[in-house]
Structure 1
Amino acid sequence: MSDDDALQSHLLEGVSRTFALTIPQLPPVLAKPVSNAYLLCRIVDTIEDETALTSAEKRKFCQRFARVVQGSESAEQLRDGLGPRLSTSTSPAEHELIHLIPRVIAITHSFDPPQQEALATCVEIMARGMAEFQDRDLRYGLSNMEEMNDYCYYVAGVVGEMLTRLFCHYSPAIGAHRDEMMTLAVSFGQGLQMTNILKDLWDDHARGVCWLPRDLFAQHGFDLRKLKPNHNDPAFCEGFRQLIGIAHGHLKNALTYTLYIPSYERGLREFCLWALGMAVLTLRKINKNLYFSDSSQVKITRRAVKATVLTSRLLRTSDFLLNAAFSIAGSGLPRHNGQLPVFGHRADT
């Protein structure tokens, strides 16, 4: 393992144990840029989550960071300006990540130009998009499903596009399906993000944030302004089930995306299948416990994670068996009839 690889592995372990687990499944030539990409995205998240910064300051630092990734601003100057502003609400691992921005960026700028462009585009869109939600009153949800789609795109769909660009750069066989996979990548990201939004409903609610769409719940006769833990309202559950169905549909697209990856690319398939499998199992737990009041009640167990890993490894080369396993895992989940709502303006050209 090179010094760069060791550094990125250490940082990932601190800020995202999930990706510290999944990224090593990738071929080494892909694992390095993908690790770097997730660290760049985490830096944006750290800026956006820092409670000591105003919305204007967050926007400014995000814009500066996008320029750093593009190579038009000093990484050291950004670190020196941002680091002292971080409060104790930011974890020690994130403090370390911000302190090491120059080293992370040096790795970014060592990649091939198409890889650098993929990472820089992702960071620029994510930083700009997330800033749009900073000044909103999110206590009572987003206005509509379209806003939820936009949010999911900015925090996850754009990551799917970035990964697809990296995958296509790595493999001409994958690149042959670029157009289909770019569209499905946005859906893949939205499925994962919607699953997290549903799982983390009450954690977000406790800090005065709700990412659910008001219009969808209003259609079922529920006002999100009345949402509180330990409710007993079936109208809310009907709206929640509809969102589970939409997320389930996006995860179906995620499987289609994964099957475009050649079966001999076992590590790449596992990287996608682990995320997909854990999301489906999480939706199952949520659907069986619609009146949950804490995310711990719908968090999948370590045993379920191990089962996902084992199943993925056993079935990863068979499209037929993977489709069958997805159907079994998703049995009982709501289905979404009609076209899946996604962000309508992708950045890909």
Structure 2
Amino acid sequence: MNPDNTPAALQSQVSGSSFYAGMRVLPKAEREAMYAVYGFCRIVDDIADDEEGDRADRAKALDKWRADIDSLYAGGNPGRAALVAEAVRRFGLDKADFHAVIDGMATDTADFVRYPSFEELDLYCDRVASAVGRLSVKIFGMDDAEGVTLAHHLGRALQFTNILRDIDEDAAIGRVYLAREHLAAAGVDMSSPESVARSPHIDAACRDLAKLAEQHYLAAEAILKRKPKGHLIAPKLMAAVYHKILGRMQAVGWAPPRERIKVNKAALIFTVGKLWLFR
């Protein structure tokens, strides 16, 4: 195994993230599988976000990952997909979900994402977020029906929150993930990513997306409150932490200039403890 892909190395890669707090409470096998899935997502995301790299080369790198995933599932040499081989074997992860994640990253690689239709945005979020959720809920041991529904809602909620939090960072690299329907309805100037980010009308467009994120959080939290089968501390933590981030953004609004909302580490630790005690 590649020394960068050992459980210890993968744990080191994620130890500084809010993701880590939710994963460390899982049993060993589930924890290491989640580190592997996170490692895969991190690698393909880095390929997509390599703004200095040649687009054709980045596309080829993602195609190689597709081929390695296919080879893994066909019983051949998995190449770099050896990273997730044990997780696939132990938890029956679906090849289609790995492909979906790669397809989402290919969207960022092929062109700058700017003003997608809401339908395009929703598909993108399914690929880069809900597909990761579908892989995760299998590792958590959830039943398929509730697991897939939770992944659908929580994936959208988290990704919409990230989009609303990263407006300035995305605009700086030529990307705008806000839906064109919301921007047009708010009267936002879409002549450039910079014009969107600095528009005095952007708050209304953001609040349209925030309403949808709220609906997805509420749907996800309703599932979690029913206490379905599985290790649920991790999705409960992500829902609790990021729903609060959304609430803080809603309170201050999105009118420029904006200050990026960060995760409060003390609150994160408190939330982990609370979820552990009352699980």
Which TM-score tier does this pair reach, normalised by the shorter chain?
A: 0.7 to 0.9
1:12 matches 2:14: yes
C-alpha distance in 1 between matches for 2:19 and 2:37: 11
Partner of 2:189: 223
Shift of 1:150: 1.2
Partner of 1:151: 124
One-letter amino acid matched to 1:162: L
Partner of 1:110: 86
Shift of 1:161: 1.2
C-alpha distance in 1 between matches for 2:6 and 2:138: 22
C-alpha distance in 2 between matches for 1:198 and 1:275: 16
TM-score by length of 1: 0.69
Shift of 1:60: 1.4
1:1-349 mapped onto 2 (5 Å cutoff): 4-13=6-15, 17-70=17-70, 71=72, 72=76, 75=79, 101=80, 105-106=81-82, 108-111=84-87, 113=89, 115=91, 117-118=93-94, 120-138=95-113, 141-168=114-141, 174-175=142-143, 178-225=144-191, 226-229=195-198, 231=199, 233=200, 235-262=201-228, 268-290=231-253, 291=255, 293-296=257-260, 298-316=261-279
Aligned residue-pair number: 267
C-alpha distance in 1 between matches for 2:93 and 2:197: 44
Tell me if structure 2 keeps the 8 A contact 1:220–1:236: yes
Query: Aligned in 2, Cα 1:7/1:306: closer, same or farther, shift over 3 Å?
Result: closer
Shift of 1:201: 0.8
Partner of 1:86: none
One-letter amino acid matched to 1:293: P
Query: Aligned in 2, Cα 1:260/1:122: closer, same or farther, shift over 3 Å?
Result: farther
Tell me if structure 1 keeps the 8 A contact 2:92–2:138: no
C-alpha distance in 2 between matches for 1:311 and 1:111: 29
Query: What are the Cα deviations for residues 243-298 of structure 1, in whole angstroms up to 9, with x where unaligned?
Result: 111111111122133235448x6xx22211111111111111111111253443x2
Secondary structure at the counterpart of residue 21 of structure 1: helix
C-alpha distance in 2 between matches for 1:179 and 1:5: 30
Query: Aligned in 2, Cα 1:252/1:22: closer, same or farther, shift over 3 Å?
Result: same
Shift of 1:21: 2.3
Tell me if structure 1 keeps the 8 A contact 2:100–2:127: yes
C-alpha distance in 1 between matches for 2:127 and 2:78: 25
Q: Identity of aligned pairs, percent?
A: 22
Query: What are the Cα deviations for residues 121-151 of structure 1, in whole angstroms up to 9, with x where unaligned?
Result: 332221123213433343xx32321111111
Shift of 1:117: 4.0
C-alpha distance in 1 between matches for 2:88 and 2:131: 20
Shift of 1:306: 3.1
Query: Aligned in 2, Cα 1:7/1:133: closer, same or farther, shift over 3 Å?
Result: closer
List gaps (5 residues or longer) in structure 2. none
Query: What are the Cα deviations for residues 303-328 of structure 1, in whole angstroms up to 9, with x where unaligned?
Result: 33234324433443xxxxxxxxxxxx
TM-score by length of 2: 0.84
Structure showing greater radius of gyration is 1
Query: Aligned in 2, Cα 1:25/1:249: closer, same or farther, shift over 3 Å?
Result: same
Runs of at least 4 residues of structure 1 off by over 6 A?
Answer: none
Shift of 1:196: 0.6
Shift of 1:112: 5.8
Query: Aligned in 2, Cα 1:137/1:218: closer, same or farther, shift over 3 Å?
Result: same
